[in-house]
Chains A and B, each alone.
Chain A
Amino acid sequence: MNTLINGIFKRDMALAFRQRSELAQPLMFLLMVITLFPLGIGPGPVTLQKIGPGVIWIAAILSSLLAMERLFRDDFWDGSLEQYMLSGQSVAAIAAVKVLVHWLVSFLPLALFSPLLALFLNLTVDMYIALMLTLLLGTPLLSLVGAIAVGLTVGLQRGGVLLALLLIPVFIPLLIFATSAVDSAALQLPYRAQLAIIGAMLMLAMASAPFAIAYALKVSQN
């Protein structure tokens, strides 16, 4: 445990702060994509409110695909990954810690950004709260499942588009439940069911994804 905290958690945190600008890029992308919608569709407040939850979530998924790529990329190419695998620690635990750090530095800021996005797309306070909750529950799921595909494609020279092809269909249920939660909030309806389902998917991913990531990384090493 100590080795994980000192060896991986602190290291990745230190690296994240040193590469702040690279971390900010997906967030800026998110902001810009969301700006495109009012410009492309028209700034009618009712329309924006109707498409808002979907737009924010689609943009979040797309920007997560951009952010995800750097999760194992540097470690793979500079050989750190080999050293992790020979450290005697469980690769699944190492992968879980790395995904945690990645979530903290690239998705948590997104949740902090969301009031601004809600403002842009004319969301009500209820919708905003629901959006925040779905983001907090849903983005760890994006990280965990995404990390499996990143582990598989990390050794490929041009893995970027492939990563998107692999992950977009897998993220569709999350998109459906998350936007439906926000839509329900707009109508003052309860949305606990949707949150519960997202939570259940998150639990499933937390229990199984680290092992899948570990296996994926081993396959990539071969």
Chain B
Amino acid sequence: MQFDSLQDFLAMGGYALYVWLSFGVSLLALVWVVIDSASTHKKLLRNAREEQARQARIAAARKAQALQSESQQTGS
């Protein structure tokens, strides 16, 4: 340990502002990248599920339409 006390450590020999600012901003930036990647991941998965649901709806609608036209033909 290069410092005698916690106060000393935090003061960084008078350079506290610069040292802690550097480390703080770097930490924030790195954390931000991780959070951004993780939240994008969630969002994309959600999009994918919505897209699949949309596809299913379209398929169902088409099937219904096909059935309807078929029954009309047999009816007439």
- Asked if chains A and B are in direct contact (CB within 8 A), the reply is no
Partner-A contacts on B (CB < 8 A): none
